[in-house]
Amino acid sequence: MGLTDIQKEIPSSEWGAPNYNTQVAIVLKNNEKEFKTNQVVELLVGIKNLSTNDEYGVMVQNPFLLSESFDFVVTSPSGKDISPIFHESFRVSGGVIWVHPGKIDGFGFNLSEICRTDEIGTYTIVIKMKRATPDRRKVLEILSKPLYVKIVPDK
């Protein structure tokens, strides 16, 4: 879990707007521009800590759909909302990704973990990360910029 140093080099144009000293980005792992139906689409989620002194952890569950810290808004090429639904469970595994002050970390996952991509065309994906204040009284939402994933026919 966590990103390699190379994976942490997410271009500044890919990050969403800052909120609570945090930014989030979702990008294609191998910078491919289009994928064939049934091809694995690997994504990276980057989390940037803009604070100079506040370290925080983000829980990432396995399977990924059980992660309470993240919501995804996924729109199919036909405009249908195919966003995954969080399923609460008490039997999970996973880990915490610690994001140190002024640093970037995150994780990777396969798009098929959260939705089907069997429709030809361009999918739009936005990630919503939830981050609680230290006293846990308020939960703030940090949005990524949209990521566009193009699926083409397998010839």
Tens of pLDDT, residue by residue over 79-107, are: 999 998 776 666 556 778 899 999 999 99
Share of the chain above pLDDT 90, in %: 55
Give the Cα separation of 36 and 133 in Å (integer).
42
Give the pLDDT band of residue 30 (cuts 50, 70, 90). confident
Q: What is the mean pLDDT of residues 22-45?
A: 91
The CA-based angle 91-96-22, given to 5 degrees, is 130
Q: Identify the CATH assignment for 12-152 out of 3.30.360.10, 2.60.40.3880, 3.10.20.600, 2.30.110.10.
A: 2.60.40.3880
Share of the chain above pLDDT 70, in %: 91
For the chain, the structural domain boundaries read: 12-152
Q: What is the mean pLDDT of residues 56-74?
A: 76
